[in-house]
Chain A
Protein backbone atom coordinates (compact mmCIF):
# COMPACT_ATOMS: atom_id res chain seq x y z
CA UNK A 1 0.00 0.00 0.00
CA UNK A 2 2.71 2.41 1.02
CA UNK A 3 4.63 1.86 -2.15
CA UNK A 4 1.63 2.68 -4.22
CA UNK A 5 1.30 6.06 -2.51
CA UNK A 6 4.96 6.80 -3.04
CA UNK A 7 4.89 5.78 -6.68
CA UNK A 8 1.78 7.86 -7.21
CA UNK A 9 3.51 10.93 -5.81
CA UNK A 10 6.54 10.23 -7.96
CA UNK A 11 4.51 9.97 -11.14
CA UNK A 12 2.61 13.08 -10.17
CA UNK A 13 5.84 15.05 -9.91
CA UNK A 14 7.15 13.46 -13.07
CA UNK A 15 3.94 14.30 -14.85
CA UNK A 16 4.09 17.87 -13.64
CA UNK A 17 7.64 18.16 -14.91
CA UNK A 18 6.70 16.86 -18.32
CA UNK A 19 3.42 18.66 -18.78
CA UNK A 20 4.00 21.74 -16.66
CA UNK A 21 6.22 23.78 -18.94
CA UNK A 22 3.69 23.32 -21.75
CA UNK A 23 0.73 24.57 -19.80
CA UNK A 24 2.53 27.30 -17.98
CA UNK A 25 1.78 30.82 -19.19
CA UNK A 26 5.45 31.66 -18.94
CA UNK A 27 8.30 30.53 -21.13
CA UNK A 28 11.30 28.76 -19.69
CA UNK A 29 13.73 31.39 -20.84
CA UNK A 30 11.30 34.27 -21.04
CA UNK A 31 13.17 37.24 -19.68
CA UNK A 32 11.01 39.95 -18.23
CA UNK A 33 11.33 43.07 -16.17
CA UNK A 34 9.64 41.44 -13.17
CA UNK A 35 12.95 40.63 -11.55
CA UNK A 36 13.51 38.93 -8.23
CA UNK A 37 9.89 39.04 -7.20
CA UNK A 38 9.02 37.06 -4.13
CA UNK A 39 6.29 34.44 -4.49
CA UNK A 40 2.92 35.95 -5.41
CA UNK A 41 -0.27 35.06 -7.22
CA UNK A 42 1.18 35.91 -10.61
CA UNK A 43 4.37 34.01 -9.98
CA UNK A 44 3.70 31.22 -7.53
CA UNK A 45 7.34 30.63 -6.71
CA UNK A 46 8.67 34.06 -7.55
CA UNK A 47 11.05 35.12 -10.28
CA UNK A 48 14.80 35.04 -10.69
CA UNK A 49 17.32 37.72 -11.62
CA UNK A 50 16.13 37.88 -15.20
CA UNK A 51 12.45 37.94 -14.37
CA UNK A 52 11.97 34.32 -15.44
CA UNK A 53 9.20 32.47 -13.67
CA UNK A 54 10.76 30.10 -11.16
CA UNK A 55 7.99 27.50 -11.15
CA UNK A 56 8.21 26.97 -14.90
CA UNK A 57 11.97 26.71 -14.74
CA UNK A 58 11.76 24.32 -11.83
CA UNK A 59 9.40 22.00 -13.68
CA UNK A 60 11.49 22.17 -16.83
CA UNK A 61 14.62 21.63 -14.81
CA UNK A 62 13.07 18.55 -13.31
CA UNK A 63 12.97 16.96 -16.74
CA UNK A 64 16.63 17.52 -17.37
CA UNK A 65 17.78 16.57 -13.90
CA UNK A 66 15.76 13.38 -13.82
CA UNK A 67 17.06 12.47 -17.24
CA UNK A 68 20.62 13.17 -16.21
CA UNK A 69 20.19 11.17 -13.03
CA UNK A 70 18.54 8.19 -14.68
CA UNK A 71 20.91 7.90 -17.61
CA UNK A 72 23.97 8.48 -15.49
CA UNK A 73 22.87 6.07 -12.79
CA UNK A 74 21.89 3.43 -15.36
CA UNK A 75 25.27 3.60 -17.05
CA UNK A 76 26.99 3.31 -13.72
CA UNK A 77 24.73 0.44 -12.72
CA UNK A 78 25.34 -1.64 -15.79
CA UNK A 79 29.07 -1.14 -15.95
CA UNK A 80 29.69 -1.18 -12.20
CA UNK A 81 27.75 -4.33 -11.35
CA UNK A 82 29.17 -6.32 -14.23
CA UNK A 83 32.70 -5.22 -13.42
CA UNK A 84 32.35 -5.84 -9.69
CA UNK A 85 30.85 -9.30 -10.18
CA UNK A 86 33.63 -10.33 -12.51
CA UNK A 87 36.42 -8.98 -10.33
CA UNK A 88 35.05 -10.38 -7.08
CA UNK A 89 34.29 -13.81 -8.43
CA UNK A 90 37.43 -14.33 -10.46
CA UNK A 91 39.57 -13.21 -7.56
CA UNK A 92 43.31 -13.43 -7.26
CA UNK A 93 45.51 -11.55 -9.64
CA UNK A 94 42.68 -10.80 -12.08
CA UNK A 95 40.76 -9.16 -9.26
CA UNK A 96 43.90 -7.31 -8.27
CA UNK A 97 44.46 -6.02 -11.80
CA UNK A 98 40.83 -5.03 -12.25
CA UNK A 99 40.74 -3.17 -8.97
CA UNK A 100 43.99 -1.39 -9.77
CA UNK A 101 42.37 -0.19 -12.99
CA UNK A 102 39.48 1.13 -10.93
CA UNK A 103 41.97 2.88 -8.66
CA UNK A 104 43.65 4.47 -11.67
CA UNK A 105 40.43 5.81 -13.09
CA UNK A 106 39.24 6.89 -9.68
CA UNK A 107 42.32 9.01 -9.08
CA UNK A 108 41.78 11.14 -12.16
CA UNK A 109 39.99 14.45 -11.55
CA UNK A 110 36.56 14.27 -13.11
CA UNK A 111 36.73 17.79 -14.33
CA UNK A 112 39.57 17.21 -16.77
CA UNK A 113 37.70 14.27 -18.25
CA UNK A 114 34.62 16.39 -18.71
CA UNK A 115 36.54 19.31 -20.19
CA UNK A 116 38.41 17.13 -22.65
CA UNK A 117 35.32 15.15 -23.55
CA UNK A 118 33.21 18.21 -24.14
CA UNK A 119 35.80 20.28 -25.94
CA UNK A 120 37.00 17.51 -28.18
CA UNK A 121 33.64 16.07 -29.11
CA UNK A 122 31.07 18.81 -28.73
CA UNK A 123 31.22 20.27 -32.21
CA UNK A 124 31.98 16.94 -33.83
CA UNK A 125 28.96 15.34 -32.23
CA UNK A 126 26.80 18.26 -33.27
CA UNK A 127 27.96 17.92 -36.84
CA UNK A 128 27.47 14.19 -36.77
CA UNK A 129 23.94 14.41 -35.42
CA UNK A 130 23.01 17.12 -37.89
CA UNK A 131 23.71 14.72 -40.72
CA UNK A 132 21.53 11.95 -39.31
CA UNK A 133 17.76 11.76 -38.70
CA UNK A 134 18.59 12.57 -35.07
CA UNK A 135 19.19 16.21 -35.99
CA UNK A 136 16.74 17.43 -33.35
CA UNK A 137 19.23 16.26 -30.76
CA UNK A 138 22.06 18.34 -32.21
CA UNK A 139 21.66 21.42 -29.97
CA UNK A 140 21.77 19.05 -27.02
CA UNK A 141 25.04 17.44 -28.01
CA UNK A 142 26.66 18.86 -24.92
CA UNK A 143 23.99 17.37 -22.73
CA UNK A 144 24.50 13.94 -24.25
CA UNK A 145 28.24 14.17 -23.65
CA UNK A 146 27.48 15.17 -20.10
CA UNK A 147 25.42 12.02 -19.55
CA UNK A 148 28.28 9.89 -20.76
CA UNK A 149 30.83 11.72 -18.64
CA UNK A 150 28.74 11.51 -15.48
CA UNK A 151 27.88 7.85 -15.97
CA UNK A 152 31.51 7.00 -16.51
CA UNK A 153 32.42 8.48 -13.17
CA UNK A 154 29.96 6.87 -10.80
CA UNK A 155 30.43 3.23 -11.75
CA UNK A 156 33.80 3.01 -10.02
CA UNK A 157 32.57 3.10 -6.43
CA UNK A 158 29.72 0.73 -7.24
CA UNK A 159 32.17 -1.75 -8.77
CA UNK A 160 34.24 -1.59 -5.63
CA UNK A 161 31.28 -2.19 -3.33
CA UNK A 162 29.92 -5.05 -5.45
CA UNK A 163 33.30 -6.68 -5.61
CA UNK A 164 33.68 -6.65 -1.82
CA UNK A 165 30.25 -8.19 -1.40
CA UNK A 166 31.01 -10.86 -3.97
CA UNK A 167 34.27 -11.74 -2.20
CA UNK A 168 32.24 -12.53 0.88
CA UNK A 169 29.32 -14.21 -0.82
CA UNK A 170 31.28 -16.53 -3.04
CA UNK A 171 32.63 -18.42 -0.03
CA UNK A 172 29.17 -19.19 1.27
CA UNK A 173 27.93 -22.78 1.26
CA UNK A 174 25.22 -22.36 -1.36
CA UNK A 175 27.71 -21.04 -3.88
CA UNK A 176 30.13 -23.87 -3.19
CA UNK A 177 27.34 -26.38 -3.61
CA UNK A 178 26.29 -24.79 -6.90
CA UNK A 179 29.83 -25.22 -8.13
CA UNK A 180 29.81 -28.86 -7.05
CA UNK A 181 26.60 -29.47 -8.96
CA UNK A 182 28.39 -28.23 -12.04
CA UNK A 183 26.75 -24.92 -12.73
CA UNK A 184 28.92 -22.77 -14.95
CA UNK A 185 30.27 -19.41 -13.88
CA UNK A 186 27.80 -17.09 -15.63
CA UNK A 187 24.87 -18.99 -14.18
CA UNK A 188 26.32 -18.86 -10.71
CA UNK A 189 26.96 -15.18 -11.06
CA UNK A 190 23.54 -14.31 -12.32
CA UNK A 191 21.36 -16.77 -10.47
CA UNK A 192 23.12 -17.14 -7.15
CA UNK A 193 25.33 -14.17 -6.47
CA UNK A 194 23.56 -11.31 -8.19
CA UNK A 195 20.36 -11.58 -6.11
CA UNK A 196 22.51 -11.37 -2.98
CA UNK A 197 24.22 -8.21 -4.16
CA UNK A 198 21.07 -6.59 -5.42
CA UNK A 199 19.99 -4.99 -2.11
CA UNK A 200 23.26 -3.15 -1.68
CA UNK A 201 23.23 -2.24 -5.35
CA UNK A 202 19.76 -0.77 -5.05
CA UNK A 203 20.84 1.19 -2.00
CA UNK A 204 23.88 2.46 -3.78
CA UNK A 205 21.78 3.35 -6.80
CA UNK A 206 19.68 5.56 -4.60
CA UNK A 207 22.94 7.15 -3.56
CA UNK A 208 24.29 7.31 -7.12
CA UNK A 209 21.29 9.13 -8.52
CA UNK A 210 21.65 12.15 -6.26
CA UNK A 211 25.41 11.96 -6.70
CA UNK A 212 25.03 12.25 -10.47
CA UNK A 213 22.54 15.11 -10.17
CA UNK A 214 24.78 16.90 -7.68
CA UNK A 215 27.82 16.29 -9.87
CA UNK A 216 25.91 17.87 -12.74
CA UNK A 217 25.05 20.85 -10.58
CA UNK A 218 28.70 21.25 -9.59
CA UNK A 219 29.72 21.12 -13.23
CA UNK A 220 27.04 23.68 -14.06
CA UNK A 221 28.43 25.82 -11.26
CA UNK A 222 31.81 25.68 -13.00
CA UNK A 223 30.31 26.29 -16.40
CA UNK A 224 30.66 22.82 -17.85
CA UNK A 225 27.19 21.46 -17.34
CA UNK A 226 23.87 22.28 -18.82
CA UNK A 227 24.04 25.34 -21.07
CA UNK A 228 21.89 28.40 -20.64
CA UNK A 229 19.05 28.93 -21.38
CA UNK A 230 18.28 25.29 -20.61
CA UNK A 231 17.68 24.76 -16.96
CA UNK A 232 18.27 21.87 -14.66
CA UNK A 233 17.89 21.80 -10.93
CA UNK A 234 21.65 21.97 -10.86
CA UNK A 235 21.80 25.25 -12.76
CA UNK A 236 18.94 26.67 -10.72
CA UNK A 237 20.79 25.82 -7.55
CA UNK A 238 23.99 27.28 -8.95
CA UNK A 239 22.17 30.49 -9.91
CA UNK A 240 20.63 30.61 -6.47
CA UNK A 241 23.98 30.09 -4.78
CA UNK A 242 25.34 33.14 -6.57
CA UNK A 243 22.62 35.20 -4.90
CA UNK A 244 23.53 34.27 -1.32
CA UNK A 245 24.83 37.14 0.78
CA UNK A 246 24.54 38.32 4.37
CA UNK A 247 22.45 41.37 3.58
CA UNK A 248 19.48 40.49 1.45
CA UNK A 249 19.02 37.05 -0.08
CA UNK A 250 16.10 36.19 -2.40
CA UNK A 251 15.36 33.04 -0.42
CA UNK A 252 12.89 31.65 -2.94
CA UNK A 253 15.63 31.22 -5.56
CA UNK A 254 17.45 28.86 -3.25
CA UNK A 255 14.79 27.25 -1.11
CA UNK A 256 12.44 26.03 -3.84
CA UNK A 257 15.04 24.32 -6.04
CA UNK A 258 16.56 22.77 -2.89
CA UNK A 259 13.17 21.48 -1.79
CA UNK A 260 12.50 20.10 -5.26
CA UNK A 261 15.81 18.25 -5.35
CA UNK A 262 15.69 17.04 -1.76
CA UNK A 263 12.11 15.82 -1.89
CA UNK A 264 12.62 14.00 -5.19
CA UNK A 265 15.66 12.27 -3.82
CA UNK A 266 13.84 11.44 -0.58
CA UNK A 267 11.03 9.98 -2.62
CA UNK A 268 13.36 7.90 -4.75
CA UNK A 269 15.08 6.57 -1.66
CA UNK A 270 11.85 5.60 0.04
CA UNK A 271 10.70 3.88 -3.14
CA UNK A 272 13.98 2.02 -3.26
CA UNK A 273 13.54 0.95 0.34
CA UNK A 274 10.03 -0.31 -0.29
CA UNK A 275 11.15 -2.21 -3.35
CA UNK A 276 13.71 -4.05 -1.27
CA UNK A 277 11.33 -5.22 1.40
CA UNK A 278 9.75 -8.28 -0.27
CA UNK A 279 13.24 -9.76 -0.63
CA UNK A 280 13.42 -10.21 3.10
Chain B
Protein backbone atom coordinates (compact mmCIF):
# COMPACT_ATOMS: atom_id res chain seq x y z
CA UNK B 1 0.00 0.00 0.00
CA UNK B 2 2.67 2.51 1.03
CA UNK B 3 4.80 1.52 -1.94
CA UNK B 4 1.82 2.22 -4.13
CA UNK B 5 1.43 5.70 -2.67
CA UNK B 6 5.12 6.47 -2.90
CA UNK B 7 5.33 5.24 -6.47
CA UNK B 8 2.31 7.30 -7.39
CA UNK B 9 3.75 10.40 -5.76
CA UNK B 10 7.05 9.93 -7.53
CA UNK B 11 5.40 9.53 -10.91
CA UNK B 12 3.30 12.60 -10.15
CA UNK B 13 6.26 14.93 -10.13
CA UNK B 14 7.03 14.62 -13.85
CA UNK B 15 3.31 15.05 -14.52
CA UNK B 16 3.24 18.32 -12.60
CA UNK B 17 6.34 19.51 -14.39
CA UNK B 18 4.97 18.52 -17.79
CA UNK B 19 1.70 20.31 -17.12
CA UNK B 20 3.42 23.52 -16.13
CA UNK B 21 5.73 23.41 -19.13
CA UNK B 22 2.94 22.76 -21.62
CA UNK B 23 0.69 25.36 -20.05
CA UNK B 24 3.37 28.02 -20.01
CA UNK B 25 4.32 27.31 -23.60
CA UNK B 26 0.74 27.37 -24.84
CA UNK B 27 -0.05 30.67 -23.17
CA UNK B 28 3.14 32.23 -24.53
CA UNK B 29 2.63 31.06 -28.10
CA UNK B 30 -0.99 32.13 -28.19
CA UNK B 31 -1.25 35.41 -30.09
CA UNK B 32 -1.55 38.59 -28.11
CA UNK B 33 0.34 40.01 -25.19
CA UNK B 34 -0.49 40.26 -21.48
CA UNK B 35 0.28 43.95 -21.61
CA UNK B 36 -1.89 45.04 -24.50
CA UNK B 37 -5.04 47.07 -24.01
CA UNK B 38 -7.48 49.14 -26.02
CA UNK B 39 -4.98 51.98 -25.70
CA UNK B 40 -1.85 51.05 -27.56
CA UNK B 41 1.24 50.65 -25.43
CA UNK B 42 4.41 52.16 -26.80
CA UNK B 43 7.00 49.53 -27.72
CA UNK B 44 9.62 50.76 -25.25
CA UNK B 45 7.23 50.40 -22.31
CA UNK B 46 6.10 47.02 -23.52
CA UNK B 47 9.67 45.83 -23.76
CA UNK B 48 10.41 47.19 -20.31
CA UNK B 49 7.49 45.25 -18.86
CA UNK B 50 8.51 42.07 -20.59
CA UNK B 51 12.04 42.43 -19.29
CA UNK B 52 10.75 43.05 -15.80
CA UNK B 53 8.82 39.80 -15.77
CA UNK B 54 11.53 37.92 -17.64
CA UNK B 55 9.37 37.25 -20.66
CA UNK B 56 11.85 38.28 -23.32
CA UNK B 57 13.90 35.98 -25.42
CA UNK B 58 12.91 32.63 -26.82
CA UNK B 59 10.30 30.49 -25.15
CA UNK B 60 12.80 27.93 -23.81
CA UNK B 61 14.71 30.82 -22.18
CA UNK B 62 11.57 32.16 -20.55
CA UNK B 63 10.61 28.66 -19.50
CA UNK B 64 13.98 28.09 -17.91
CA UNK B 65 13.72 31.33 -15.90
CA UNK B 66 10.24 30.37 -14.79
CA UNK B 67 11.14 26.84 -13.76
CA UNK B 68 14.16 27.98 -11.79
CA UNK B 69 11.86 30.44 -10.06
CA UNK B 70 9.43 27.68 -9.13
CA UNK B 71 12.27 25.55 -7.84
CA UNK B 72 12.95 28.32 -5.31
CA UNK B 73 9.30 28.24 -4.29
CA UNK B 74 8.31 31.43 -6.07
CA UNK B 75 5.36 31.02 -8.40
CA UNK B 76 5.83 34.45 -9.87
CA UNK B 77 3.63 37.50 -9.98
CA UNK B 78 0.40 38.12 -11.79
CA UNK B 79 0.83 40.17 -14.95
CA UNK B 80 -2.62 41.66 -14.75
CA UNK B 81 -2.97 42.25 -11.02
CA UNK B 82 0.24 44.12 -10.54
CA UNK B 83 2.25 43.65 -7.41
CA UNK B 84 0.37 40.57 -6.31
CA UNK B 85 2.16 37.28 -6.18
CA UNK B 86 0.49 34.20 -7.58
CA UNK B 87 0.85 32.48 -4.22
CA UNK B 88 -1.00 35.33 -2.55
CA UNK B 89 -3.82 35.34 -5.08
CA UNK B 90 -4.30 31.58 -4.91
CA UNK B 91 -3.93 31.65 -1.14
CA UNK B 92 -6.82 34.10 -0.87
CA UNK B 93 -9.16 32.55 -3.43
CA UNK B 94 -8.58 28.83 -3.10
CA UNK B 95 -10.08 28.33 0.39
CA UNK B 96 -13.29 29.94 -0.81
CA UNK B 97 -13.52 27.65 -3.82
CA UNK B 98 -12.76 24.68 -1.62
CA UNK B 99 -15.53 25.59 0.77
CA UNK B 100 -18.09 26.01 -1.97
CA UNK B 101 -16.81 23.00 -3.86
CA UNK B 102 -16.93 20.69 -0.85
CA UNK B 103 -20.57 21.51 -0.29
CA UNK B 104 -21.33 20.99 -3.97
CA UNK B 105 -19.45 17.69 -4.02
CA UNK B 106 -21.46 16.39 -1.09
CA UNK B 107 -24.66 17.50 -2.80
CA UNK B 108 -23.65 15.82 -6.07
CA UNK B 109 -23.03 12.52 -4.38
CA UNK B 110 -25.74 12.90 -1.79
CA UNK B 111 -28.41 13.44 -4.42
CA UNK B 112 -26.83 11.56 -7.28
CA UNK B 113 -26.28 8.20 -5.66
CA UNK B 114 -29.77 7.75 -4.26
CA UNK B 115 -31.28 9.01 -7.50
CA UNK B 116 -29.27 6.53 -9.53
CA UNK B 117 -29.88 3.66 -7.13
CA UNK B 118 -33.60 4.30 -6.98
CA UNK B 119 -33.99 4.56 -10.74
CA UNK B 120 -32.05 1.32 -11.18
CA UNK B 121 -34.08 -0.52 -8.55
CA UNK B 122 -37.31 0.68 -10.13
CA UNK B 123 -36.08 0.10 -13.64
CA UNK B 124 -39.08 -1.94 -14.64
CA UNK B 125 -41.72 0.63 -13.99
CA UNK B 126 -42.56 4.21 -14.83
CA UNK B 127 -40.93 5.65 -11.70
CA UNK B 128 -37.55 4.43 -12.83
CA UNK B 129 -37.88 6.05 -16.20
CA UNK B 130 -38.93 9.34 -14.69
CA UNK B 131 -36.03 9.35 -12.27
CA UNK B 132 -33.70 8.47 -15.11
CA UNK B 133 -35.18 11.30 -17.11
CA UNK B 134 -34.60 13.73 -14.26
CA UNK B 135 -30.97 12.72 -14.09
CA UNK B 136 -30.52 13.33 -17.80
CA UNK B 137 -32.34 16.61 -17.57
CA UNK B 138 -30.02 17.90 -14.89
CA UNK B 139 -27.00 17.37 -17.09
CA UNK B 140 -28.56 18.72 -20.28
CA UNK B 141 -28.98 22.29 -19.21
CA UNK B 142 -25.81 24.34 -19.50
CA UNK B 143 -24.63 26.12 -16.36
CA UNK B 144 -24.88 29.56 -17.90
CA UNK B 145 -28.63 29.02 -18.28
CA UNK B 146 -29.12 27.10 -15.05
CA UNK B 147 -27.32 29.49 -12.77
CA UNK B 148 -29.13 32.71 -13.77
CA UNK B 149 -32.43 30.84 -13.85
CA UNK B 150 -32.01 29.61 -10.28
CA UNK B 151 -31.19 33.18 -9.30
CA UNK B 152 -34.34 34.50 -10.94
CA UNK B 153 -36.45 31.77 -9.44
CA UNK B 154 -35.18 31.45 -5.89
CA UNK B 155 -33.93 34.94 -5.36
CA UNK B 156 -36.30 37.26 -7.13
CA UNK B 157 -39.45 35.23 -7.43
CA UNK B 158 -39.42 33.35 -4.17
CA UNK B 159 -37.15 35.68 -2.18
CA UNK B 160 -35.47 32.80 -0.45
CA UNK B 161 -31.78 33.49 -0.95
CA UNK B 162 -29.58 36.42 -1.96
CA UNK B 163 -28.72 36.46 -5.65
CA UNK B 164 -24.98 36.92 -5.28
CA UNK B 165 -22.17 37.83 -2.96
CA UNK B 166 -19.84 36.21 -0.50
CA UNK B 167 -19.66 36.38 3.25
CA UNK B 168 -22.85 34.95 4.67
CA UNK B 169 -23.75 31.25 4.84
CA UNK B 170 -27.04 31.79 3.01
CA UNK B 171 -25.11 33.14 0.04
CA UNK B 172 -23.61 29.68 -0.41
CA UNK B 173 -26.85 27.84 -1.06
CA UNK B 174 -27.68 28.84 -4.62
CA UNK B 175 -24.14 28.66 -6.00
CA UNK B 176 -23.56 25.29 -4.34
CA UNK B 177 -26.68 23.88 -5.96
CA UNK B 178 -26.04 25.44 -9.33
CA UNK B 179 -22.50 24.05 -9.29
CA UNK B 180 -23.61 20.59 -8.17
CA UNK B 181 -26.69 20.03 -10.31
CA UNK B 182 -25.09 18.92 -13.59
CA UNK B 183 -22.97 16.44 -11.68
CA UNK B 184 -25.98 15.00 -9.85
CA UNK B 185 -27.14 13.76 -13.22
CA UNK B 186 -23.80 12.27 -14.18
CA UNK B 187 -23.39 10.52 -10.84
CA UNK B 188 -26.94 9.18 -11.00
CA UNK B 189 -26.42 7.84 -14.50
CA UNK B 190 -23.16 6.15 -13.64
CA UNK B 191 -24.58 4.56 -10.48
CA UNK B 192 -27.68 3.44 -12.33
CA UNK B 193 -25.69 1.88 -15.13
CA UNK B 194 -23.37 0.10 -12.72
CA UNK B 195 -26.29 -1.18 -10.64
CA UNK B 196 -28.19 -2.45 -13.66
CA UNK B 197 -25.15 -4.52 -14.55
CA UNK B 198 -24.66 -5.82 -11.05
CA UNK B 199 -28.31 -6.49 -10.32
CA UNK B 200 -28.37 -9.09 -13.05
CA UNK B 201 -25.37 -11.02 -11.83
CA UNK B 202 -25.23 -14.36 -10.05
CA UNK B 203 -24.47 -13.35 -6.53
CA UNK B 204 -27.46 -11.05 -6.46
CA UNK B 205 -29.73 -13.78 -7.72
CA UNK B 206 -28.39 -15.99 -4.98
CA UNK B 207 -29.15 -13.31 -2.44
CA UNK B 208 -32.65 -12.88 -3.76
CA UNK B 209 -33.35 -16.61 -3.65
CA UNK B 210 -32.11 -16.60 -0.07
CA UNK B 211 -34.85 -14.14 0.74
CA UNK B 212 -32.97 -10.90 1.23
CA UNK B 213 -35.18 -7.84 0.83
CA UNK B 214 -34.69 -5.71 -2.25
CA UNK B 215 -33.45 -2.50 -0.58
CA UNK B 216 -30.94 -4.45 1.49
CA UNK B 217 -29.83 -6.24 -1.63
CA UNK B 218 -29.27 -3.04 -3.53
CA UNK B 219 -27.64 -1.07 -0.75
CA UNK B 220 -25.47 -3.60 0.97
CA UNK B 221 -24.48 -5.94 -1.78
CA UNK B 222 -25.03 -4.55 -5.23
CA UNK B 223 -23.83 -1.04 -4.59
CA UNK B 224 -20.27 -1.90 -3.74
CA UNK B 225 -19.15 -3.25 -7.09
CA UNK B 226 -21.61 -1.05 -8.98
CA UNK B 227 -20.14 2.14 -7.66
CA UNK B 228 -16.73 1.58 -9.21
CA UNK B 229 -17.28 3.65 -12.36
CA UNK B 230 -18.56 6.46 -10.18
CA UNK B 231 -15.47 6.28 -8.01
CA UNK B 232 -13.17 6.64 -10.98
CA UNK B 233 -15.30 9.57 -12.16
CA UNK B 234 -15.36 11.10 -8.69
CA UNK B 235 -11.62 11.68 -8.69
CA UNK B 236 -11.57 14.26 -11.49
CA UNK B 237 -14.96 15.49 -10.32
CA UNK B 238 -13.61 16.40 -6.89
CA UNK B 239 -10.60 18.15 -8.38
CA UNK B 240 -12.79 20.11 -10.78
CA UNK B 241 -15.47 21.09 -8.33
CA UNK B 242 -13.04 22.18 -5.66
CA UNK B 243 -11.27 24.51 -8.01
CA UNK B 244 -14.52 26.15 -8.95
CA UNK B 245 -16.15 27.30 -12.14
CA UNK B 246 -15.91 30.61 -13.97
CA UNK B 247 -19.63 30.81 -14.64
CA UNK B 248 -20.69 30.15 -11.07
CA UNK B 249 -18.15 32.61 -9.73
CA UNK B 250 -19.10 35.37 -12.13
CA UNK B 251 -22.85 34.86 -11.76
CA UNK B 252 -22.77 34.76 -7.96
CA UNK B 253 -19.85 37.18 -7.47
CA UNK B 254 -17.78 34.60 -5.62
CA UNK B 255 -14.11 35.50 -5.25
CA UNK B 256 -12.87 32.02 -5.96
CA UNK B 257 -10.05 30.56 -7.99
CA UNK B 258 -12.10 29.01 -10.83
CA UNK B 259 -12.35 32.17 -12.86
CA UNK B 260 -8.59 32.44 -13.22
CA UNK B 261 -8.50 29.37 -15.43
CA UNK B 262 -10.41 31.30 -18.07
CA UNK B 263 -9.70 34.94 -17.27
CA UNK B 264 -6.01 34.17 -16.84
CA UNK B 265 -5.87 32.68 -20.32
CA UNK B 266 -7.80 35.55 -21.85
CA UNK B 267 -5.44 38.03 -20.18
CA UNK B 268 -2.41 35.91 -21.13
CA UNK B 269 -1.47 36.07 -17.45
CA UNK B 270 0.95 33.22 -17.83
CA UNK B 271 2.24 32.93 -14.25
CA UNK B 272 -1.21 33.01 -12.74
CA UNK B 273 -2.56 30.42 -15.17
CA UNK B 274 0.40 28.12 -14.67
CA UNK B 275 0.06 28.52 -10.94
CA UNK B 276 -3.63 27.65 -10.76
CA UNK B 277 -3.14 24.81 -13.22
CA UNK B 278 -0.41 23.44 -10.98
CA UNK B 279 -2.78 23.54 -8.02
CA UNK B 280 -5.50 21.87 -10.06
CA UNK B 281 -3.02 19.23 -11.16
CA UNK B 282 -2.05 18.56 -7.55
CA UNK B 283 -5.72 18.13 -6.62
CA UNK B 284 -6.25 15.86 -9.59
CA UNK B 285 -3.34 13.63 -8.69
CA UNK B 286 -4.40 13.49 -5.07
CA UNK B 287 -8.03 12.63 -5.75
CA UNK B 288 -7.16 10.11 -8.45
CA UNK B 289 -4.90 8.46 -5.90
CA UNK B 290 -7.76 8.33 -3.42
CA UNK B 291 -10.12 7.04 -6.12
CA UNK B 292 -7.74 4.29 -7.16
CA UNK B 293 -7.21 3.30 -3.53
CA UNK B 294 -10.95 3.21 -2.92
CA UNK B 295 -11.42 1.14 -6.06
CA UNK B 296 -8.95 -1.43 -4.85
CA UNK B 297 -10.70 -1.43 -1.49
CA UNK B 298 -14.10 -1.99 -3.03
CA UNK B 299 -13.13 -4.59 -5.58
CA UNK B 300 -10.63 -7.08 -4.22
CA UNK B 301 -10.15 -8.46 -7.69
CA UNK B 302 -8.23 -5.40 -8.72
CA UNK B 303 -4.60 -5.36 -7.87
CA UNK B 304 -2.97 -2.00 -7.78
CA UNK B 305 0.34 -3.31 -8.90
CA UNK B 306 0.93 -6.44 -10.90
Binding site for B on A (CB under 8 A): 91-92, 96-97, 99-100, 103-104, 106-109, 111-113, 115-116, 119-120, 157, 160-161, 164-165, 167-168, 171-172, 199-200, 203, 206-207, 210-211, 214, 217-218, 221-222, 234, 237-238, 240-241, 244, 246, 249, 254, 258, 261-262, 265-266, 269, 273, 280
Contact = CB atoms under 8 A, between A and B. Distances in A.
Nearest to A273: B132
B19 A107 contact: yes
Interface string B5-35: 0011001101100110011001101110000
Contacts of B253: none
A262 B280 CA distance: 30
A106 B236 contact: yes
Q: Binding site of B, secondary structure by majority: helix, strand, loop or mixed? A: helix
Given A115-B265, A164-B295, A261 B22 contact: no
B167 interface: no
Contacts of A103: 12, 15, 281, 284-285, 288
8 contacts: A104-B18, A104-B22, A107-B19, A108-B22, A116-B29, A244-B148, A262-B136, A265-B139
Interface stretch (B41-49, B88-96, B207-215, B296-304): B296-304
A237 B229 contact: no
A107 B142 contact: no
B306 interface: yes
A200 B27 contact: no
B140 interface: yes
Contacts of B18: 104
Contacts of B280: 107
B144 interface: yes
B262 A222 contact: yes
Contacts of B142: 214, 217-218, 234, 237, 261
A100 B15 contact: yes
Q: How many of chain B's residues touch chain A, expressed as a range? A: 35 or more
Contact of A258 (B132, B145, B265, B301): B145
B102 interface: no
A237 B145 contact: yes
A207 B186 contact: yes
Given A108-B19, A109-B277, A199-B193, A238 B144 contact: yes
Contact of A161 (B27, B232, B265): B232
Chain A to chain B: the 6 pairs with minimum beta-carbon distance, closest first: A107-B281, A203-B193, A262-B140, A164-B232, A265-B140, A244-B148
B126 interface: no
A221 B132 contact: no
Interface string B136-175: 1101111111001100100010000000000000000000
Interface string B192-215: 011011001000000000000000
A258 B149 CA distance: 12
A78 B8 CA distance: 27
A107 B23 CA distance: 9
A137 to B, nearest CB: 24
Contacts of A161: 229, 232-233
B305 interface: yes
B229 A172 contact: no
B261 interface: yes
A7 B233 CA distance: 30
Given A100-B12, A246-B152, A240 B285 contact: no
A96 B11 contact: yes
Given A168-B301, A171-B303, A112 B285 contact: no
A113 B281 contact: no
Contact of B299 (A112, A119, A168, A266): A168
A112 B306 contact: no
A150 B171 CA distance: 34
A72 B77 CA distance: 37
Given A104-B19, A164-B232, A280-B200, A109 B273 contact: yes
A91 B152 contact: no
A270 to B, nearest CB: 8
Contacts of A91: 306
Interface string B221-261: 00000001101110110000000000100000000000001
A120 B30 CA distance: 8
A220 to B, nearest CB: 10
Contacts of A96: 7-8, 11
Nearest to B135: A269
With most chain A CB atoms within 10 A of its CB, the pick from B140, B152, B288 is B140
B133 interface: yes
